[in-house]
Structure 1
Amino acid sequence: MPVTTATRRHQGNRGGIAKRTRDMRTDRDGDMLMGTAPRGRPQAARGGRGALQPTRPPPAPGMSDSRRGGHNSSFKKEQLLSALRQGSIRAGGTERNGPAQSGNIKITGWTKSEAYASSDGGLGALISWLERRVNISIKKRNAPRKTAPPRTFKLAPNKYHVEGDALIISAMGSDVGDLLHLNNFEFSGVKIKVEEIPKESEQDSSAGNQTRQMLKDFLHRRYDPSAKLLNLSAIGQDQEILNTGMFATASTQSKFIPALMKVCDGIFKSAEEKKDTVQSITLANNALDSLVAVKEVAPTFPDLLNLDLSNNQFPSLDSLSGWKTKFKHLDQLIVSGNPLEQNNADYAADLAGWFPTLRVLNGIQIRTEEQIAKKQKAIIPIFGANFKDISGIGESFIKTFFPAFDSDRNGLVRHCYDPQSTFSLAVNPGAPRDPAQQGFKQLQTWDRYIKQSRNLKKITHLNPRMNRLLTGSDDITKFWQSLPLTRHPNLESETEKWLIECQSVPSIPDPSGNSPQGVDGLIITVHGEYEELDGPAGQARIKRSFDRSFILGPGGLNGIRVVSDMLTVRSYGGCAAFTPTDTNTGTNQPVTETTMEAPQQALPTLTNEQTQMLTELARQTGMNIQYSKECLEQSQWNFQAALETFAAVQPNLGPEAFAQ
């Protein structure tokens, strides 16, 4: 990656690209303390988000911090190049050739699990699962001895890290064997692979340590804490890097930035610390014509505010497409001095579309703060609930159901469910969370739910799908007893925490057999939240959101029976989406007083499975029941085919298809 020099400076409270300062604090291990101002010198004040400005190039080649002893000069080129070629640069500072009883464990396969959809990628759930399984092994091993209570296995944050799709754990003693024993065990729906990483030879380990230290020194020289800037410009002209021979071949050049990013991952203890420490990066003057050599910058610093790509050789926007939408909070971008300016006349408009928060491009303001805020607001208006009840049946059911679910589930099943009633549970760990609420920071675990989850996006085979559809009051009662205790908000005093809709639905099976072509029923959809309670004391443990759909028909002890009950549990997402954009635009309509009778033009009787498909298709597409039924019939009652049919004909559908 040949390179020249140029940096940009940005002075503002969000950090910017600016010139470097040479003073830097280090810890007792010699690692830099990034983001900390040197003692005895006041930290530069940071004002508003100003434009990026040019600064002087990096200091003269060959200079290094006197406090670090200038040990770059003592590196052996052969060892450095060997370490870089072999990829033995690790994210942390852990030695890979530790004591004989230690070992590094590599775990793969967990990124394909259901837990991976959660906000932390399932890492928290995997760590908890590993600790639990290893502690079970320790307890069994110590049981016959009748000695003091066995130790507890706990993974400290500095003992593991993620490399791509693999979790790397540094373990000691018998813990190595206990972890390896978990190979091919099932975690969150998938089998994981657990293997030990072969130890490096002493020579390889020494070379890896020297290379890692050299990269840390490079970061130390190139980081400006006052501007929160990581200066990666003109790397090929850095004399200390050239002295190592790292830029002698294209192969070692291409591995420099990925290795540097791994070291960065090891320096920061959390994503929040990384976000606060590095707000600007310059990659100017590196003769880059693609993102191949620097692509790891995006996943390493996803919250970057300012990025300088000036004076490179990017030929077109296609060469930057790998970073399209990657930086979710990018405020300023510089691409001047690249051929793409001449080759893409509309590059500015395209880049503005790639990065919705981009405010300044090449030093020119293209959006105001107000325009960005307005663009981030929901463009689809939120309407009020559409509740079309029949003789007050729906309202009465809802007011009875949720208090009973919290206090007397067995009695609720006896009164509202029968041998033909169905119930299913789906876990959606990837649903958006509400960052304004405390529940956003809570670790979401799904142990009490996941084994019976019928999330059709995850459970794709017919047999598991059918096995997780509970039929009959006995099976429903048994499963409900395994669920955590709950407390739902009060329906009358906390109405803002609920969104409830009700519609009539035809052709519900008549359990009495008096109407073979079916009777009218209700479909009720409820969106809300609840608290999980910790034991009989009623202490709230965690808050979750839920979606629940009921199909009601005649029957049961009180004249109403639940034909179908589908519950989706998800991470807490708040209730802001329940508030209409304009209270005058709600679709509430007067209640139509009717009775549950067979329709004059009765539709053919539907099975429970067909009724569920009909309900779900209407919910996902917004079509009314009649059109949803016709769509399913044309698709031979294949749900996926019905969705594809709807997508194909949607542009041609008139408003009558969506009229309720």
Structure 2
Amino acid sequence: MPKRGGRIRNWKPNEHFEHDDRIQSNNTRRVSFKPGTNKGKNKFNSWNNASHLLLDGDIDMGATAGQGPNRKGFRGRGRLSSPAPRPASKKKFLPGLLPWYQIIIPYGAKHDKDVVLRALLGFISPEVFIPHYYKINGNAAVFYVDDVKIAEKLFYADRKIAMSDGFKLVVIVRNSVPNINVDAGMKEKMKLAMAKRYNPATKALDLTKFHSDPDLSDIFCALFRPVIMLAAIEIMAENIPDLEALNLNDNKLHGIEHMKILSTKLKNLKILYLGDNRIPYLGSIDPLKPLQLVELYLKGNPLVNRFNDHDIYVSDVRKKFPKLVRLDGVDLPPAIGFDVSEDVTLPPSQQSFLIDPAGQDLVREFLTQYFAIFDSESRQPLLEAYHETATMSMAANYLSNDNRNAPTNRLNAYISNSRNLVRITERESRRRYLRTGRLQVVSFLSDLPKTKHDLMSFAVDLLVFTPAMIVLTMNGVYKETTVAGNPSRSFHRTFVIVPNSAGGFSITNDMLFISNTTREQEDTSSSSAVGVAGPGPASAPAPAPAPAHDETQRAILATLSQHTGMNEHWSINCLQETGWDYQRALFIFNQLQSEGKIPPEAFVK
């Protein structure tokens, strides 16, 4: 230690300073300075001070607490106190938000590029890395790596690699990306690099790890930077507008909002690979939804790991891209839906659909008998219509909340027994609302309000017609006859019918849905009711059809005569006895026919 006020000796030419880490002899006298001495003099730059090298936006990756320029080298307050430095805290590597890291080797210019890289590779072996954009900046060597794992290993290589001249290599790691300037020269280089990656036979462009292309080693061309990606898309649109397949795997992509222009620039794009990138959420790919993709590759992105169920992942992706047939290299099962262009004209709708016209008469007879009994005073005879192990469920819901305001529109008689699966989520409750066995089914039906169905409003679809099973659905309108105001209801019903041992048919499954009628249904029902209104019951047989009967009555007469086989005289008599109520007339006929009370002459034509 020099005496206070003494002269500082001159440095010899062979002595070093700054980061001189060569091993010193034990006999060498060390030099130390007290705090506050030599203010303004002999200020030596140190590469440990990160502020000398920080660029705009750079982030120092080391936690260097206690190593700043203001740290004190002595404890105590006396002038002659002995130095007692604090133990140096270990620096920790802090991963950055960006996928690129700047590596700075102070005084790296003293060594050849190969020497520096060989020393670093030897330290982190067996790991290897590609030094991007290596250059000499002053007396420092600077390059970039695009791997956080490599950046961390290089971070901990600081002052642990002894070079041939005795110095230990200083390694500074910062989270930073190279400066970019997308000019005409850069676009030309990108164009040439893309040209050799394009396959005209398949109209496919492979831009996998584009920034590592040897032809782009002297420029920063990372496609995760929006300005560079947009430049690449412009080059594609200008030179290969009919591009059908694009591979963007392993390009550090994260936010891809700017890529929504793909749908307008590359309208023929059908295959897109985005694997091994950094896309965080499935919603992040929403900008690509306008693309009519048939194949998509997302494996290797964080968004895939957010799904515990692979089937849900596939389903959610297909919701965004309905035409997808291949995902992550795996063929998908055919999607359920319609794949038609917007200009296709759909066939005209029809009242009913029959899978087999041969089932028309059977279905008509079955429904006529069923609803004649359903609308009668007692529904107990329906026991013969259901199978011993039949099941039934009923659900009810309002078309809108406004329908609940009017007393006649309220569905209180149905809502309390409704098996609405959206409302009832517990398994036990769902089981309780399911009626099993024909006794439970008919007992439940008997408790529903009395009705009168409008058969003219029915639309029936025969979906399955085989010797072993019949499946038919219908919708229509009915009125509640025992409720004030006789409110109208709309219903949809599905029957599954199977043959029984007696040679007839039985319902094995019955699903009923009830709601309020629409305005259109109410208008149609009102006009139908007016049309079927006729004279009151008559005790004497009516003569043959008179011209006074309107077209609706003649249609009802023809239908009843065809279904029952009775001649017009007896058919008119039956209709007039029931006030031209077709359903009631058919019910009475079936009841009298089963009792053998209809004479043979009723069938003579």
TM-score, normalised to structure 2, is 0.27
Larger Rg: 2
The higher relative CO (CA closer than 8 Å, separation ≥ 6) is in 1
